[in-house]
Amino acid sequence: MLKFVQIERDMPQKRDASVRKEDFNEIYAEYAAAKAEEQASRCSQCGVPYCQSHCPLHNNIPDWLRLTATGRLEEAYEVSQATNTFPEICGRICPQDRLCEGNCVIEQSGHGTVTIGSVEKYITDTAWENGWVKPAAPLAERSESVGIIGAGPGGLAAADMLRKAGVQVTIYDRYDRAGGLLMYGIPSFKLEKDVVERRNKLLADGGVTFKLNCTVGEDISFEDIRAKHDAVIIATGVYKSRDLSMPGSGAEGIVKAIDFLTASNKKSFGDAVEAFDNGDLNAAGKKVVVIGGGDTAMDCVRTSIRQGATSVKCLYRRDRANMPGSQRETQNAEEEGVVFEWLSAPKGFTEEGGKVAGVMVQKMRLGQPDASGRQAPEVIEGADYVEEADLVIKALGFEPEDLPTLWDQPELPVTRWGTIKAAFKTGATELEGVYAVGDIVRGASLVVWAIKDGRDCAEAILEKFNSKAAVAAE
């Protein structure tokens, strides 16, 4: 260990932009064993590991880096999966530059961070290849049953923990495949779908029951789910797109990011997608403008490039330093030909024959900090211009759906933002036996936080089940 003074940071080889933008395959190659050991050996084994404290799951990062550096990969996998249900997924899509790697001590001293995410991905991919990843095999089956609404990362993480303890688990999801945004919201060049599918199969092989194409409030009522199970976890995520209300916003060719990404991912499965085939949700041959600066916006611009757009521009109202998305993803997008228009915000749309023809852009400057501490953008008068566009994608973030109304549950407690009120750590709501985890509680957030919430909630439910069993046995 401690080889960071002799060995430089070295990421897995990244495919050339001119090649990778022609397909939807992941852009990074896998580490070879020797390279993974070498990079893991750069860890300084801090007494107070900031990488671990800044990981939402508090993964034992120095421990599995040390085990990898010494060739003890199966042990490294065991340590990694002890705190993370989906380490190979987090290794691919977590914004490590903002979390673990961004707080690596040796980076602060100028030596370049340890490539934590790439090593994490390598460890678990190796575990799958060697058959070390096994389905749940509880020592004893329990009589308790839990229903989980939503097959995204939070719901799947809770299901995994509960099933390993022997609890009977049923997951209800509106889509035809489990995975939520892992399956339909994140492009394959960041997360190839067989990675998600093999996890879904592992859960099913371990005894988790999936009820797909099942919309709560239509195909089954929330009350029916509560009646069937001893506890219910709401893990629906947030899917309602924030919108723009400005001149021309109803023109044809202005679409939501989630619709655009879902159509692209469905097409990759070979599904029939009419809105893609007729060009409505297809960037091929079009001048594309994406509005937004988060990770979803990055997914949209890079997907547009791969679909064959003639040009792709991203409008963001603040500067590069203040954008919420991953800087690594921004760099990847620029390498692939995306043009970023910083300090630019839409004020309306031009149209021809009912179809969008351009975005009316107003230039901005950063003024005084707002309530969150970020500098508030201010309009520069007289600097407006029109950006030509055949397709405009709104990547403005997501809001929760009105679950109390959709599910006919007026007593379901929600905040003024529409998220479900749930206890910190446990996810318990004011309704007996009803819990909530992930984005439906936090608002739009990271996959790793949803995993954390799902695991914490599962532990709380198991503790409650055990307490009831102990009382009954007295």
Is residue 422 classed exposed, middle or buried when 0-12, 13-18 and 19+ CB atoms within 10 A define those classes?
buried
pLDDT, one tens digit per residue, over 152-185 is 999 999 999 999 999 999 999 999 999 999 999 9
CB under 8 Å to 15, separation ≥6 — which residues? 25, 27, 28, 29
- pLDDT for residue 5 is more than 80: no
pLDDT, one tens digit per residue, over 424-465 is 999 999 999 999 999 999 999 999 999 999 999 999 999 999
- pLDDT for residue 474 is more than 80: no
What percentage of residues in the chain have a pLDDT greater than 90? 86
Residue-level pLDDT at 89: 97
Smallest CA-to-CA distance from 64 within 53, 78, 54, 51 is with 78
Residue-level pLDDT at 374: 80
3-129 classified as CATH 3.40.640.10? no
243-398 classified as CATH 3.50.50.60? yes
Span 393-416, average pLDDT: 95
H/E stretch holding 311 reads: strand 311-315
Taking the alpha carbons at both ends of the chain, their separation in whole angstroms is 53
Residue-level pLDDT at 7: 81
Confidence of residue 208 (pLDDT cuts 50, 70, 90): very high
Query: How far is the C-alpha of 66 from the C-alpha of 212, rounded, in Å?
Result: 41
- CB-based contacts of 416-422 (< 8 A; 24+ apart in sequence): 417/443, 419/238, 419/443, 420/234
Among 211-220, 256-265, 372-381, the range scoring the smallest mean pLDDT is 372-381
CATH of region 145-238+400-473, choose from 3.40.630.30, 3.50.50.60, 3.30.565.10, 3.40.630.10: 3.50.50.60
Bin 159: left if φ > 0, else alpha if -120 < ψ < 50, else beta: alpha
Token pair in block for residue 115: 């490539």
Residue-level pLDDT at 368: 87
Confidence of residue 29 (pLDDT cuts 50, 70, 90): confident
Residue-level pLDDT at 9: 85
Q: What is residue 348's three-state secondary structure? A: strand
- pLDDT for residue 107 is more than 90: no
- pLDDT for residue 2 is more than 90: no
Smallest CA-to-CA distance from 299 within 15, 27, 117, 87 is with 27
Same fold, 3-129 and 145-238+400-473: no
Residue-level pLDDT at 347: 96
Between the alpha carbon of residue 289 and those of residues 253, 317, 330, 379, 442, the distances in Å are: 11, 14, 15, 20, 29
Residue-level pLDDT at 369: 86
Q: Can you give the residue ranges of every domain in the chain?
A: 3-129, 145-238+400-473, 243-398
Average pLDDT, the chain: 95
- Contact between 211 and 170 (Cβ < 8 Å): yes
Is residue 448 classed exposed, middle or buried when 0-12, 13-18 and 19+ CB atoms within 10 A define those classes?
buried
pLDDT, one tens digit per residue, over 111-164 is 899 999 999 999 999 999 999 999 999 999 999 999 999 999 999 999 999 999
Residue-level pLDDT at 108: 78
For tokens 């996810």, the residue is 427
More confident residue, 325 or 209: 209
- pLDDT for residue 304 is more than 90: yes
pLDDT, one tens digit per residue, over 321-350 is 888 888 889 999 999 999 999 999 999 999
pTM over 0.85: yes
Query: How far is the C-alpha of 330 from the C-alpha of 325, rounded, in Å?
Result: 7
- pLDDT for residue 470 is more than 90: no
Residue-level pLDDT at 110: 82
Residue-level pLDDT at 370: 80
pLDDT, one tens digit per residue, over 55-74 is 999 999 999 999 999 999 99
More confident residue, 204 or 5: 204
Q: Which residues of 317-356 are buried (b: 16+ CB within 10 A; e: fewer)?
A: bbbeeebbbbebbbebbebbbbebbbbbbbebbbbeeeeb
